[in-house]
């Protein structure tokens, strides 16, 4: 992990035979060339210092042009590559690979964005767009002139994973990891495993029994010698970096377990929304939450009797604790996804027990994606009436019923009957409560977990990197990152297991070399960079009889926060060195006429 050698040299300018850079300007089939005169751009940049080859192409990302670039790199012995095309989000990886295939260091490639940030943004000004493209390409060439051939940091990884939380997600992730031969340590805060699902009966959409599901998983977990399950235990300390974390787990009052792990999977689940007294009649006899109603249904058979009274009529109020926008008085903004299906499922179980029970569903929107639509259809076909209300005029639950009548009354304006205001008598009012984040401050602090505005853990990208967090090696899955039903939780747990295993089974990991480096000769250990780093990547190390700051490369994310705070200008960000940035600015400012 030593990077002393590279610290001394962050300039690529002292090349023995000057630069040999290849520049390729893309038409993007017209996306760029309709607004940017690419031939004029070519003329303006082909004689820039260091440019050995300059061309335009209809599609630089096409196989043919990639092939041509690779040939140019080999033929002309290029030491830098610039492609002016789309956003690096789209094709940076593509062209880095072209460089790699042709024997050029991929970090000596620069992508210049003349599509999203130029042609698309300036469709009303062709001359201006062309002018801007010239400046952007010159900036890219200037940056590439002093680029360094960087190599990814290779770290050895420990073939063991820590799973935090032993609900269905955590247990399934542990099993998945053990099945591919990794060791697993599972930490559960509670005395029992299984979380919410362990306490549930028949689950939608698969109809399996929650308690049985957990018992089955637990049997399989126990049969895996590679899994260590610690209940009544909490993660209290984490140090080290991706691939080799040291974790400390406290079990009970006295026992401390230490382990080296390569990755951490967080599967801490959710809490159910607990409406305060008064919200939709909460506190009145007969007003229950979704989990309370589920437990009530599972506790009996035959006709429904609640607190000694027969149940003839049930009103469900949806989106309680979910989608609470400013109109509804704040709270959670997100949709809890699982509750529409759960309430529909339970209404069908009520119809199984007693088809004569009248059921009214007061909803804002119904979210029954995929096969869950079948639950909704069955519910309607079996007599449930769905009544749609507006967020700004929520139902009012009161208790002023006459003698011998159901004890609750719900007043609601039904949008589907053109705004008719309805009074519905009910024996039970079920508040279809959503999922809320669990309080986990200690864990968030220990793992530096990214927490979103909604209080849930944040992945890097919900579709492209759905179980990874910005902390390398810390993965999330299940309902702790967002509301999910049990099937979805298990699916995301398997995704996290696959992601963790993909890295750890290799035995090593390659980390992006675009990290900060400290020049120990310049550093006088003033201490300002340590608190500037959001990842605690900077440590104090001895250097020639004194102490200096040093960046732990495996921890550094290359954010650059430490660079400007250094009064001695001892810190540089590889790939974005001060020298490169200054050269880029010069390139951008050079007159184009």
**Which residues of the chain form contacts with other proteins (CB under 8 A)?**
312-313, 358, 360, 377, 380-381, 383, 385, 387-388, 411, 414, 416-418, 420-425
Q: Please state the closest distance from residue 419 (CB atom) to other proteins, in A.
A: 10
Q: For residues 133 and 362, which CB has a smaller minimum distance to other proteins in the complex?
A: 362
Q: Please state the closest distance from residue 118 (CB atom) to other proteins, in A.
A: 45
User: Is 161:262 a contact under the CB 8 Å cutoff?
Assistant: yes
Q: Please state the closest distance from residue 202 (CB atom) to other proteins, in A.
A: 23
Helix (H) or strand (E) holding 431: strand 428-433
Q: For residues 373 and 442, which CB has a smaller minimum distance to other proteins in the complex?
A: 373
Q: Residue count of the chain, please give it.
A: 593
Q: For residues 123 and 377, which CB has a smaller minimum distance to other proteins in the complex?
A: 377
Q: Please state the closest distance from residue 313 (CB atom) to other proteins, in A.
A: 6
Within 13 A of 401's CA, how many CA atoms are on the CB side? Answer: 21
DSSP 144-183: HHT-----PEEEE--SEEEEE--SHHHHHHHHHHHHTT-E
Q: For residues 58 and 385, which CB has a smaller minimum distance to other proteins in the complex?
A: 385
d(CA 20, CA 81): 9
Q: What is the pairing mode between strands 233-241 and 244-251? A: antiparallel
Residue 428, φ and ψ in degrees, nearest 5: -135, 135
**Which two tokens mark 469?**
């967090």
Q: Please state the closest distance from residue 413 (CB atom) to other proteins, in A.
A: 10
Cβ count within 10 A of residue 398 = 12
Q: For residues 353 and 388, which CB has a smaller minimum distance to other proteins in the complex?
A: 388
What is the number of H-type helices and E-type strands within the chain? Answer: 15, 30
User: Is 413:396 a contact under the CB 8 Å cutoff?
Assistant: no
Say which DSSP state 94 is in: H
Q: Please state the closest distance from residue 279 (CB atom) to other proteins, in A.
A: 22
Query: Which residues lie across from 111 on neighbouring strands?
Result: 83
Q: For residues 284 and 380, which CB has a smaller minimum distance to other proteins in the complex?
A: 380
CA angle 82, 87, 88 (to 5 degrees): 60
Q: Please state the closest distance from residue 355 (CB atom) to other proteins, in A.
A: 11
Q: Please state the closest distance from residue 466 (CB atom) to other proteins, in A.
A: 32
Q: For residues 95 and 360, which CB has a smaller minimum distance to other proteins in the complex?
A: 360
Q: Please state the closest distance from residue 439 (CB atom) to other proteins, in A.
A: 40
Give Cα 202 to chain centroid, integer Å.
30
Buried b (16+ CB within 10 A) or exposed e, 468-481: bbbbbbbbbbbbbb
Residue where the block lists tokens 């000769």: 521
Q: Please state the closest distance from residue 553 (CB atom) to other proteins, in A.
A: 58
User: Is 338:200 a contact under the CB 8 Å cutoff?
Assistant: no
Q: For residues 343 and 435, which CB has a smaller minimum distance to other proteins in the complex?
A: 343
Distance (Å) of CA 157 to CA 241, 449, 581: 10, 21, 34
Q: For residues 153 and 422, which CB has a smaller minimum distance to other proteins in the complex?
A: 422
Q: For residues 423 and 539, which CB has a smaller minimum distance to other proteins in the complex?
A: 423
Say which DSSP state 438 is in: P
């Amino acid at each position: 992990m030593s990077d002393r050698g590279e610290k001394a040299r962050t300039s690529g300018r002292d090349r023995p035979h000057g630069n040999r850079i290849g520049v390729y300007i893309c038409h993007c089939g017209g996306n760029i060339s309709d607004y940017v005169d690419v031939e004029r751009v070519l003329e303006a940049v082909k004689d820039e210092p260091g440019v050995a080859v300059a061309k335009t192409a209809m599609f630089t990302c096409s196989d043919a042009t990639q092939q041509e670039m690779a040939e140019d790199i080999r033929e002309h012995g290029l030491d830098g590559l610039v492609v002016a095309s789309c956003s690096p989000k789209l094709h940076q990886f593509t062209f880095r690979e072209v460089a790699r295939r042709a024997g050029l260091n991929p970090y000596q490639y620069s992508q210049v964005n003349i599509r999203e940030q130029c042609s698309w943004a300036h469709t009303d000004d062709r001359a201006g767009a062309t002018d801007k493209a010239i400046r952007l390409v010159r900036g890219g060439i200037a940056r590439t002139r002093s680029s360094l051939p960087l190599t990814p940091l290779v770290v050895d990884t420990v073939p063991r994973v820590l799973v935090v939380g032993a609900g269905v997600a955590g247990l399934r992730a542990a099993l998945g990891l053990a099945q591919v031969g990794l060791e697993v340590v599972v930490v559960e805060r509670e005395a029992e495993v299984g979380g919410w699902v362990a306490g549930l009966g028949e689950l939608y959409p698969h109809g399996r029994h929650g308690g049985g599901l957990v018992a089955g998983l637990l049997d399989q977990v126990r049969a895996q010698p590679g899994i260590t399950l610690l209940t009544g235990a909490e993660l209290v300390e984490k140090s080290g970096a991706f691939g080799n974390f040291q974790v400390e787990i406290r079990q009970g009052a006295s026992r401390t377990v230490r382990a080296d792990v390569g990755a951490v999977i967080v599967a801490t689940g959710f809490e159910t929304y607990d409406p305060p007294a008064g919200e939709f009649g909460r506190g009145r006899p007969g007003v229950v939450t979704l989990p309370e109603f589920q437990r009530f249904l599972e506790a009996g058979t035959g006709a429904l009797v609640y607190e000694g009274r027969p149940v003839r009529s049930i009103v469900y109020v949806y989106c309680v604790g979910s989608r609470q926008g400013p109109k509804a008085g704040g709270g959670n903004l997100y949709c809890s996804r699982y509750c529409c299906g759960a309430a529909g499922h339970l209404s069908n179980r009520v119809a199984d027990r007693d088809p004569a029970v009248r059921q009214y569903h007061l909803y804002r929107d119904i979210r029954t994606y995929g096969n869950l639509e079948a639950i909704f259809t069955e519910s309607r076909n079996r007599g449930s009436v769905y009544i749609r209300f507006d967020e700004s005029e929520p139902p009012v639950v009161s208790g002023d019923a006459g003698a011998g009548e159901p004890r609750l009354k719900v007043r609601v304006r039904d949008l589907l009957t053109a705004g008719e205001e309805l009074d519905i008598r009910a024996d039970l009012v079920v508040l279809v409560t959503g999922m809320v984040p669990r309080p986990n401050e200690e864990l968030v602090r220990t793992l530096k977990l990214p927490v979103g505005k909604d209080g849930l853990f944040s992945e890097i990208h919900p579709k492209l990197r759905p179980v990874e967090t910005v902390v390398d090696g810390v993965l999330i899955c299940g309902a702790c990152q967002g509301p999910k039903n049990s099937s979805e939780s298990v699916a995301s747990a398997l995704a996290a297991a696959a992601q963790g295993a993909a890295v750890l089974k290799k035995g090593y990991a390659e980390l992006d070399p675009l990290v900060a480096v400290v020049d120990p000769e310049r550093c006088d250990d003033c201490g300002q960079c340590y608190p500037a780093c959001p990842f605690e990547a900077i440590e104090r190390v001895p250097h020639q009889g004194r102490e200096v700051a040093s960046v732990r490369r495996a921890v550094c994310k290359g954010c650059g926060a430490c660079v400007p705070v250094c009064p001695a200008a001892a810190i540089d960000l590889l790939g974005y060195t001060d020298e490169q940035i200054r050269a880029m600015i010069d390139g951008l400012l050079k007159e184009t006429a």
